[in-house]
Chain A
Amino acid sequence: MSIPIEHVISLSALLFVIGVVGALTRRNLIVILMSIELMLNAANLALVGFNRVWSVTAEGAARYDGQVFALMVIAVAAAEVAVGLGILLSLIRNRDSLNVDDASLLRW
């Protein structure tokens, strides 16, 4: 009747990998930020998916651990993006560029 858990997890793993590859390969900071969001959402998807497997306790009561966790993550992710964009803004103000490769003063 419902979608098997394997499918959900596969999708989430795929999303996570897409996020990872994006974070590794894209130069535009905004896109990198989006990729990171993708990774977080992949985790959210997995959490929600797994919650269906573990939806009742041994005593038969309902459990929402995964879903609650996902809700928390959504809230935190929003805060994270806000901080990230703030950092981007101050960088743009000093150096008119969104290219991650331009931030290479600190090295070795």
Chain B
Amino acid sequence: MPADPQWIEDALLRWIVFVPLGTALASGLLLAVFRRTLSSSLVVWMSCGSVFASFGLSSLSFAKLVGLFGEVPVDDVPPRVLIDTLYTWVGVGVGNSAFSADLAFRYDALSAVMCLVVTGVGFLIHVYSVGYMRADTRDDGGLQRFFCYLNLFIAAMLVLVLADNLLLMFLGWEGVGLCSYLLIGFWYGDRQNAYAGSKAFIVNRIGDFGFIVGILLLFWSMADAGQPAVSFRAIEAGFGSVASQTLALPGWLGGGEIGLATSIGLCFFLGAVGKSAQLPLFVWLPDAMAGPTPVSALIHAATMVTAGVYMAVRLSFLYEAAPGALVVIAWTGGVTAVFAALLATAQNDIKKVLAYSTISQLGYMFLAVGCGAYAIAIFHLVTHAFFKALLFMGAGAVIVATHHEQDMRRMGGLRKKLKLTYWVMVAGVLAICGFPGFSGFFSKDEILTSVFFAHELPGHVALYWMGVATAGLTAFYMFRLLFLTFHGKTRLPRGRRGELDDPEDTMMWPLQILAVLAVLGGIIGLPQFWGDRIGVAESNSLGHFLASVVRLGEPHALDAGVVAQLVGGVLAASITGFGLAYVLYISRPGLREKLEPVLGVPRRVVARRFYVDELYDAVFVRPLVIFSDRVLSRGIDAGLIDGRLVMGSAHAVRGLAAHVLKHLQSGLAQAYLLLMLAGTVALLAYLVT
């Protein structure tokens, strides 16, 4: 098969995935089947080494890819994608609707960025885990099991971002979910963890339903148009012909029509909502904090939860044809950002604050996607991976140092003891709050600028102000976290105060690297406006790099006045948030008690997370169980049995029923026979009439 000019085969790609996968399988097999516990140092070297190797390979491919950017275009299409086809995975259908999907990896600009983040940040977190888990694995082989899952997760995540078609992407998508489920529940023996793990998995089912239906809808409509396709390039090439089609809505949805692109886009977005913990499916993420802290940093901050954003950007060509879906995405993101930021202000568990903060920041990313600013969403994804991983791991360092204290009300004054931890946390906090020059400043500012100029988006002004409000809230809760944890007098129980110190070096040096990245990471996507100010002719290299995959918007007409206005708004909000936190938690802590009665009700509502969990429990979980238990089990199966259904509702046939059915009341073979024969009669009636 002659390759398209813009596709370069590169058999190296598979090893990016296979190295961590192989390591995970090897150590898993040894542990489970042969009951061989490897020495902890071997485990550590193997797993960290494999992720580092994977990082090295991605960097190599990255270099190759960048090299291709300079090459002479063939037919105006520069060769900008590496691809590695292993074999044909599935091929089904005949004639028009036949399609085949390869087991193939693709390495384009978008995959490259994701891949480097996953392996790079992943490697740092691996190293950090060594110190974190060493003290913590309670039984034999625990460390090996932990790293086995962690490597498996990295492999699955790499499959997700490197997949060349939707089917393979779905494999990675489910794989990361599974690993996160295993890792959340890693400390077994703790029912709460088990519950949290299951919850994450179950809530994600709803999202996955959307994902699958999206895939099917896409296949079906493309096959219908005679262009069946699963690989991204084929979909992108052929989607134009079906994008303008419409679907008739069924009557119970109010009838009418909906654009095909919009409906497919919304289905996929439902998947993203589940995975990236957006409203209304965010409930699992805070509970997922039951897992070990490195897991929270890796999976629930830096990588897996951003998969939804990645998918939306990957399918940007589809969303370009579906403005309706983009509106939904933008509003979901914007509302989630504010909502989660509000919730974060009421948390006392240090990891939960960060969890809600993650949800809020993911909301920002979706807001950017909704504005069509895909490259900026990825930019924020990258900077967020840096500073949020940093914050989580810093929190983890605090937790380790205080012997597993997570409640900020029992911390305080740790600044003097955990000096290094304090300073990296400060860097992270400043980055997330958008301190000028720090990474979060540029990415957040870019998002708000896009929203500000997104005139085609209904309510973009409101969204802009929501974004600004979120920035203020972010500053408030992050400084609240910082002040409660590190400032003031220590509130630690006496027995634990003595030997406080920064954790060991294996935990600290990943933190320092990430701190540097969190501070300076903004350079990769430095907006041209700032580039001009500091004399960089061609800034925003990330944006230009991604331009081979996604559409970059027209540059906004920025002059100093507009920029001052935009930056000023965010900064004012942030400074207000900071000031409020400073007043309430540092200078006049007494004020909080006075405010308590005033803020009582709203605070309680926020503290109970707006009663969302209760609502879900009442609306989804309990009815399912009750329905199955009462209606099906006791009602139908035993049903004819205790006769409540029959006797209660069928007075008319009571005379007959009392004679025939009373024998069925014991739930026995004859009750079954009756249903079976009734079914037969129904069949008969249907076929004969």
A-side residues, CB < 8 A to B, are 20, 23-25, 27, 100-101, 103-104, 107-108
Chain A residues, Cβ within 8 Å of B668:
100-101, 103-104
A24 and B673 within 8 A (CB): yes
Show 15 residue pairs from A and B whose CB-CB distance is below 8 angstroms, ordered by the A residue: A20-B677, A24-B663, A24-B670, A24-B677, A27-B663, A100-B668, A100-B669, A101-B663, A101-B666, A101-B668, A103-B668, A103-B669, A104-B667, A107-B637, A107-B638
Q: Please give me the residue from chain A that is nearest to B641 by CB atom.
A: A107
Could you tell me the distance in whole angstroms from the C-beta of B664 to the nearest C-beta in chain A? 8
Is B601 in contact with chain A by the CB < 8 A criterion?
no
A-contact bits for B633-649, CB 8 A (1 contact / 0 none): 11001100000000000
Chain B residues in 8 Å Cβ range of A100: 668-670
Q: B621 on the interface (CB 8 Å rule)?
A: no
> A107 touching B670 by the CB < 8 A rule?
no
CB contacts (< 8 Å) of A103 on chain B: these are 668-669
CB-CB nearest in chain A for B669: A100
CA distance A49 to B668 in the complex (A): 35
B667 / chain A contacts, CB cutoff of 8 Å: 104, 107
A70→B670 CA distance, assembly (Å): 27
Residues B663 and A108 in contact, CB atoms below 8 Å apart: no
Q: List the 6 closest A-B pairs by CB distance, nearest first.
A: A101-B666, A107-B667, A108-B633, A104-B668, A25-B663, A101-B668
Given A107-B638, A108-B633: A24 touches B666 (CB 8 Å cut-off): no
Interface of B: prevailing SS: helix
Q: Looking at the assembled complex, report how far the CB atom of B637 sits from the nearest CB atom of chain A, in whole angstroms.
A: 6
Interface residue B674 (Cβ < 8 Å from any Cβ of A): yes
Distance (Å) between the CB of B547 and the closest chain A CB? 61
- Complexed CA–CA distance, A23 and B669 (Å): 10
Query: Which A-chain residue is minimally distant from B659 (CB atoms)?
Result: A25
Chain B, Cβ-Cβ closest to A23: B673
Which A residue sits closest to B665, measured CB to CB?
A101
Instruction: Name the distance in Å between B210's Cβ and chain A's nearest Cβ.
Output: 33
**Complex alpha-carbon distance, A19 and B362, angstroms:** 67
Q: How far is the CA of A104 from the CA of B638 in the complex (A)?
A: 11
Decide if B660 is an interface residue (CB 8 Å cutoff).
yes
Residue of B nearest to A27 (CB): B663
> How far does the Cβ of A92 sit from chain B's closest Cβ, in whole Å?
16
User: Which chain B residue shows the least CB distance to A29?
Assistant: B669
Q: Assuming A24-B670, A107-B637, A107-B638, what are 4 further A-B pairs, CB within 8 angstroms?
A: A20-B677, A101-B666, A101-B668, A104-B666
Q: How far is the CB of B628 from chain A (nearest CB, A)?
A: 11
What are the residues of chain A within 8 A of B634 when measuring CB–CB? 108
How many angstroms between the C-alpha atoms of A76 and B483 in the bound complex?
Answer: 85
Please give me the residue from chain A that is nearest to B667 by CB atom: A107
Bound together, the chains give a CA A92 to CA B297 distance in angstroms of: 64
User: Nearest B residue to A108 by beta-carbon distance?
Assistant: B633
CB nearest to B663 among chain A residues: A25
Q: Which residue of B lies closest to A25 (CB)?
A: B663
List, in ascending order, chain B residues with CB within 8 A of A25's CB.
660, 663, 670
Residues in B with CB closer than 8 Å to A108 are 633-634, 637-638
Give the residue among B633, B660, B670, B674 with the most A Cβ atoms within 10 A.
B670
CB-CB under 8 A from A107, the residues of chain B are 637-638, 667
- Separation of A20 and B678 alpha carbons in the complex (Å): 11
Cβ contacts under 8 Å, A23 to chain B? 670, 673
Q: Which residues of A contact B633 (CB under 8 A)?
A: 108
Q: Which residues of A are found within 8 Å of B677, using beta-carbon distances?
A: 20, 24
Q: Give the docked Cα–Cα distance between A50 and B535 (Å).
A: 100
* Pairwise interchain contact B660-A24, C-beta atoms closer than 8 A: yes
